[in-house]
Amino acid sequence: MIHPHGGRLVNRMVSGEEREGLAREAPDLPAVALNQRELADLEMIATGAMSPLEGFMGGADYRSVIDSMRLANGLVWAIPVVLSAKTEEHKTLTRGDRVSLLDDAGRALAVMDVADRYEADHDYEAQMVLRTNDEAHPGVQYLQSISPVYLGGTIHMIRHPEHKDFARYRLEPKETRVLFATKGWNRVAAFQTRNPIHRAHEYLQKCALEVCDGLLIHPLVGETKSDDIPADVRMRCYEELMERYYPKDRVVLSVFPAAMRYAGPREAIFHALVRKNYGCTHFIVGRDHAGVGSYYGTYDAHAIFGEFEPQEIDITPLFFDHAFYCRTCGNMATTKTCPHGKEDHVFLSGTKVREMLAAGELPPVEFTRPEVAKLLAESSR
Amino acid sequence: MPHDPSQMVTLKIPRPLYERLTQLIEGTGFRSVTEFATYVLRDLASHPTSQREAEAAAGERMTEAEVEAARERLRELGYL
């Protein structure tokens, strides 16, 4: 089994007397109400999905990640995982203080030992991580919505967040690792998406499955921008396809709780490292991975892997070019495998698909399976 | 691999070791002792190094009971 990033799977869930003690202590501590991204991060830290992180980043890790895509100890890590102050009281917290971390219903989910309070430079963070300061970028908008005062420290998770959706698809890294081991899968490819599944995605997944023992389809169900297709619709599309077109004994569908950062290349590194923690050995990186608008080059998310030694990332990226159905070839292909021109290719942009659905038209079968087209059409009414 | 000079520092090693490493990397694909040393040190740094960390890692391996509990949940959810 592939090692988690940093060598061990972090577990910040506490139990027994420790949990009881912290649960008693939490109501008397200064409270920090987490936003949706922070809640998702908290859960992923606690369950080891973000190994080796044991809490929200302190200033040294934050600055190192922004400047060099490495934690202060040198391990590759491309995305800041931070907790923003919410009140004036939070801005006075110092090392040694403890805070309780609350969900949106006011329940204390965790206690954090404050190790650092520091001032972020949001302009610099945006430029380095998102490669833009454009206020139209959803990641820039997020930074503008939070305080630049960040709190860092180790967490102690006393209860899981209450999820009302996808309960049967929520697996922790330790569970996917047991699952893959039990199935005898040595080579497992992970597929990340925040979009509905089209034939091109299916093609990439099945190409990966040709060279691996198993496939983890891991749709992101954390916070996305408002015009993305809702996660429940995307999941229904996956369920339909899994039932009809995928080999059940070789494919696992589970949800990825993270929020989207829309950080393109850096987020591709993050997505790959996290899937290593889930026990995957390979990670599919398609065109414009985790991109938005035209902020990133089509294959920037491929190129960024070249900035590291392969053993530093460890999980193997599977790079795929732009995929489509070619009428002349009569099959799915990519620009690497098809010699024909664009006039032979069936490919629709997300905008075009939305326009078709709004007009009551279904995308062609060469682009989207009819079952998926039907579900998308129903959800767009 | 990035080579921004402002992000690089100098490490000193004994000359005999340097010369030995120069011989060692011949024909391996490493273009310099620096590249080889960076490779080895990064590999070392990416795994638990101290006794404490090694013990912690061992302690956090799942027990048989935990593995069976995970399998039970996976069975309940239909994954196994």
User: Is the pLDDT reported for residue B58 higher than 70?
Assistant: no
The secondary element (H helix, E strand) that includes residue A25 is: helix A16-25
Q: Alpha-carbon Rg of chain A, whole angstroms?
A: 21
Q: Would an 8 Å CB–CB cutoff place A7 in contact with chain B?
A: yes
Of the residues A11, A172, A175, the best mutation for testing chain B's interface (the one with the most B CB atoms within 10 Å of its CB) is: A175
> Catalytic: A73?
no
Average pLDDT over chain A reads 94
Compute the average pLDDT of residues A90-95: 91
Long-range residue pairs from B74-78, CB within 8 A, at least 24 positions apart, any chain: B74/A171, B74/A175, B74/A178, B74/A179, B74/A182, B77/A168, B77/A169, B77/A171, B78/A168
Annotated catalytic residue within A11, A35, A133, A195: A195
Taking alpha carbons only, the member of A338, A336, A328, A362 closest to residue A348 is A362
- By the 8 A CB rule, do A174 and A165 touch? no
User: Is the pLDDT reported for residue B56 higher than 70?
Assistant: no
Q: What would the pLDDT profile of A50-59 be if each residue is shown by its tens digit? A: 999 999 999 9
Q: What would the pLDDT profile of A273-305 be if each residue is shown by its tens digit? A: 999 999 999 999 998 888 898 999 999 999 999
Query: Residue A303 and residue A219: Cα distance in Å, rounded?
Result: 23
> How many domains does chain B contain in total?
1
Q: Domain limits at B35?
A: 12-76
Q: Do A75 and B46 touch (CB under 8 A)?
A: yes
What is the reported pLDDT for A34?
Answer: 97
Q: Would an 8 Å CB–CB cutoff place B53 in contact with chain A?
A: yes
Compute the average pLDDT of residues B36-42: 85
A167-380, CATH topology level: Rossmann fold (3.40.50)
CATH 3.40.50.620 boundaries in chain A: 167-380
Residue A241 phi, psi (nearest 5): -70, -40
Residue of A nearest to B76 (CA): A168
Query: Residue A164 and residue A42: Cα distance in Å, rounded?
Result: 17
Q: Would an 8 Å CB–CB cutoff place B8 in contact with chain A?
A: no
Query: Residue A261 and residue A291: Cα distance in Å, rounded?
Result: 9
User: Is the pLDDT reported for residue B49 higher than 70?
Assistant: no
Annotated catalytic residue within A117, A131, A177, A194: A194
A56 vs B16: which has the higher pLDDT: A56
CATH 3.10.400.10 boundaries in chain A: 16-157
What is the reported pLDDT for A164?
Answer: 87
Taking alpha carbons only, the member of A244, A321, A326, A330 closest to residue A288 is A321
Chain centre to alpha carbon of residue A187: 20
Distance from CA of A73 to the nearest CA of B (A): 8
What is the reported pLDDT for B40?
Answer: 86
Q: What would the pLDDT profile of A147-176 be if each residue is shown by its tens digit? A: 999 999 999 999 999 998 999 999 999 999
Query: Residue A161 and residue A46: Cα distance in Å, rounded?
Result: 11
DSSP state of A296: S
Residue of A nearest to B62 (CA): A174
User: Is the pLDDT reported for residue A351 higher than 80?
Assistant: no
Query: Residue A304 and residue A308: Cα distance in Å, rounded?
Result: 8
Residue A355: band (very low, low, confident or very high) from pLDDT cuts 50, 70, 90: confident
Q: Would an 8 Å CB–CB cutoff place A309 in contact with chain B?
A: yes
Count of pairs with CB atoms under 8 A, one residue in A, one in B: 66
Q: Would an 8 Å CB–CB cutoff place A242 in contact with chain B?
A: no
Q: What is the DSSP string of A336-355?
A: TT--S-GGGEE---HHHHHH
Compute the average pLDDT of residues A72-86: 95
Residue of B nearest to A306 (CA): B1
Percent of chain B exceeding pLDDT 70 equals 76
Q: What would the pLDDT profile of A10-44 be if each residue is shown by its tens digit? A: 999 999 999 999 999 999 999 999 999 999 999 99
Q: What would the pLDDT profile of A200-234 be if each residue is shown by its tens digit? A: 999 999 999 999 999 999 999 998 887 778 889 99
Distance from CA of B77 to the nearest CA of A (A): 6
Please write down the HEC assignment for all residues of B16-30: HHHHHHHHHCCCCCC
- Encoded tokens for A353: 């698909």
Residue B50: band (very low, low, confident or very high) from pLDDT cuts 50, 70, 90: low
Residue B47: band (very low, low, confident or very high) from pLDDT cuts 50, 70, 90: low
Taking alpha carbons only, the member of A140, A66, A81, A68 closest to residue A112 is A81
User: Is the pLDDT reported for residue B53 higher than 70?
Assistant: no
User: Is the pLDDT reported for residue A77 higher than 90?
Assistant: yes
Query: Residue A290 and residue A79: Cα distance in Å, rounded?
Result: 13
Asked if the structure places residue B2 within a domain, the reply is no
What is the reported pLDDT for B1?
Answer: 46
Residue A13 phi, psi (nearest 5): -80, 130
Query: Residue B53 and residue B18: Cα distance in Å, rounded?
Result: 30
Range A16-157: architecture per CATH: Roll (3.10)
Percent of chain A exceeding pLDDT 90 equals 83
Residues 6+ apart with CB under 8 A from A342: none
What is the reported pLDDT for A45?
Answer: 98
Nearest residue, CB atoms, B60 vs list A3, A9, A311: A9
Asked if the structure places residue B5 within a domain, the reply is no
What is the reported pLDDT for B21?
Answer: 93
Q: Would an 8 Å CB–CB cutoff place B67 in contact with chain A?
A: yes
